């Protein structure tokens, strides 16, 4: 839903007050064109805002959305691939989409002001999250500061799921990691203990009414955070090539070098920030200011021990997504020995990508930038047992696979 909010204020059906329904991908399997959280809005006249699959299932989703507006109830639709029926609605890529469809007036009218307040031209969107209840109860909570949101302290979330402590605790355990990671996901909570206690009192009846059985609570969480950071240390040819490559992946890229004569060259002006400071001091200050998080990647390209060693000591103490350092096999061995002598635990060194980058046969700075960014993508999407990364033409199995970092996650990652 968050992907549509910047456009709601300018979409004629929304502005004119038409009845609307929102269709959101809440589950995926196999190869799918769009990730969880992708939404499409449908007006009562059949007008569309957004897309779920690039055309494979949109027609069927529009029909289901119009039906939902007629009867006022939410519904869940599953779209897959049928080899038996060539004309069946489904995904030709062979994947599966689970799509939740809900009339907007069933619990989401509070989103309109946020849609109007979010400008489409924003280059760096402000943090924002949405927690929607997908079961029959409906409702939504808009979270303006996802990283600092605390479920146990939120009266809005308590109103959405019920204020029973056990329910709020379970919600906090599942909702907060999604919010703080800028991810989307489905959360299912057991009914509150209060309802179960009520059921126990009915146990005195031989045949308690079936409709009194407590129903689970289903939430869908979407979180949008500012772009993750890439910190490039080293104002050289390789740093210059890595800046646009990192930005292409959606990172906010900072170039840092202690030597002003190097860092102030015009070729680094395309960085989001250019800093002249000793690398380890800059990283320490950014971490102390709370400007580093678990999505941050650090690329050490200085290739100079007086910069590298104190910087890597600092980086390996932090919770970072990726730490890589440039150098030959010989310089890598010297670097490891120096870090061990400085007291860096050997288990921390296992997180260090050195020499930096995937083995693509890269030689030029541009090729090395590709190898580095490829390793960053591979490291955040890999899981145990996958083995070496190969060309898709030389591998078999699904192109997209479910991450094993979270057994309950349905988010796809590129292989």
| Joined tokens for residue 113 | 């002001």
pLDDT at 192 over 70: no
pLDDT at position 148 is 86
Phi, psi of 162 (to 5 degrees): 100, 145
- First-to-last alpha carbon distance for the chain, in angstroms, is 26
pLDDT tens-digit profile of 61-81?
899 899 989 887 888 888 765
Please state the rounded mean pLDDT for residues 2-30.
82
Report whether 200 contacts 228 (CB < 8 A).
no
CA-CA distances (angstroms) from residue 101 to 21, 24, 280, 407? Answer: 7, 7, 50, 26
Percent of the chain with pLDDT strictly greater than 90: 38
Q: What's the pLDDT band for 59 if we cut at 50, 70, 90? A: confident
| Cα(66)–Cα(55) distance, integer angstroms | 18
pLDDT tens-digit profile of 114-173?
444 444 444 456 788 999 888 878 788 889 889 889 999 999 999 999 888 888 899 999
CA-CA distances (angstroms) from residue 161 to 39, 51, 185, 212, 362? Answer: 23, 30, 16, 18, 53
Report whether 55 contacts 33 (CB < 8 A).
no
| Cα(274)–Cα(294) distance, integer angstroms | 22
pLDDT at 268 over 90: yes
Please state the rounded mean pLDDT for residues 361-372.
94
Report whether 65 contacts 99 (CB < 8 A).
no
Percent of the chain with pLDDT strictly greater than 70: 75
**Element spanning 339, H or E:** helix 329-341
pLDDT tens-digit profile of 202-249?
333 344 445 556 678 989 999 988 889 999 999 999 999 999 999 999
pLDDT at 406 over 80: no
Q: Which residue has the higher pLDDT, 276 or 386?
A: 276
pLDDT tens-digit profile of 26-38?
888 766 667 788 8
pLDDT tens-digit profile of 333-360?
999 999 999 999 989 999 999 899 998 8
10 Å Cβ neighbour count for 46? 11
pLDDT at position 281 is 97
Mind listing the domains of the chain with CATH numbers? Answer: 5-110 (no CATH), 126-224 (3.10.20), 229-389 (3.40.50.720)
pLDDT at position 136 is 77
Report whether 257 contacts 233 (CB < 8 A).
yes
Q: What's the pLDDT band for 405 if we cut at 50, 70, 90? A: very low
| Cα(16)–Cα(21) distance, integer angstroms | 15
Cα angle: 372, vertex 410, 136; to 5 degrees: 145
Report whether 170 contacts 190 (CB < 8 A).
yes
Q: What's the pLDDT band for 415 if we cut at 50, 70, 90? A: very low
pLDDT at position 390 is 59
pLDDT at position 55 is 64
pLDDT at position 409 is 39
pLDDT tens-digit profile of 269-292?
999 999 999 999 999 999 999 899
pLDDT at position 105 is 59
- Name the DSSP letter for residue 120: T
| Joined tokens for residue 333 | 């061995």
Average model confidence (pLDDT) across the chain: 80
pLDDT at position 407 is 37
């Amino acid at each position: 839903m968050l992907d549509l909010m910047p456009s709601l204020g300018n979409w004629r059906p929304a502005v004119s007050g038409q009845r609307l329904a929102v269709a959101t991908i809440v589950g995926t399997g196999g190869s799918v064109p769009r990730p969880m959280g992708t939404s499409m809005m449908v007006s009562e006249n059949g007008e569309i805002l957004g897309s779920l699959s690039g055309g494979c299932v949109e027609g069927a989703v529009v029909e289901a959305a119009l039906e939902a507006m007629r009867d006022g109830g939410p519904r869940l639709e599953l779209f897959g691939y049928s080899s038996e029926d060539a004309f069946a609605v489904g995904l030709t890529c062979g994947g599966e989409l689970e799509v939740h469809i809900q009339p907007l007036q069933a619990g989401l009218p509070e989103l309109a002001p946020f849609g109007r307040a979010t400008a489409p031209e924003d280059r760096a969107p402000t943090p924002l999250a949405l927690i929607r209840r997908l079961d029959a109860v409906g409702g939504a909570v808009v979270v303006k500061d996802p990283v600092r949101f605390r479920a146990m302290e939120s009266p809005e979330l308590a109103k959405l799921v019920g204020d029973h402590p056990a329910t709020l605790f379970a919600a906090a355990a599942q909702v907060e990691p999604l919010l703080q990671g800028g991810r989307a996901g489905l959360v299912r909570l057991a009914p509150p203990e209060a309802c179960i206690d009520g059921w126990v009192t009915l146990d005195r009846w031989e045949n308690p009414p079936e409709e009194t059985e407590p129903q689970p609570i289903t939430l869908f969480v979407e979180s949008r955070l500012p772009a993750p950071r890439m910190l490039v240390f080293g104002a050289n040819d390789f740093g210059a090539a890595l800046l646009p490559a990192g930005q292409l992946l959606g990172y906010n890229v900072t170039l840092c070098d202690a030597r002003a004569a190097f860092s102030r060259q015009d070729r680094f002006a395309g960085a989001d920030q250019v800093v002249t400071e000793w690398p380890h001091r800059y990283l320490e200050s950014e971490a102390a200011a709370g400007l580093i998080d678990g999505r941050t990647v650090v690329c050490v390209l200085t290739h100079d021990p007086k910069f590298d060693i104190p910087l890597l000591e600092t980086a390996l103490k932090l919770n970072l997504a990726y730490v890589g350092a440039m150098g030959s096999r010989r310089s890598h061995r010297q670097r490891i020995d120096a870090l061990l002598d400085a007291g860096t635990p050997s288990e921390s060194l296992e997180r260090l990508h050195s020499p930096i980058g995937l083995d693509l046969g890269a030689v030029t700075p541009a090729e090395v930038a590709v190898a580095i960014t490829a390793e960053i993508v591979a490291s955040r999407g890999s899981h145990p047992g996958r083995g070496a990364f190969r060309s898709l033409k030389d591998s078999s199995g699904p192109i997209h696979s479910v991450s094993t970092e979270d057994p309950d996650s349905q988010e796809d990652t590129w292989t």
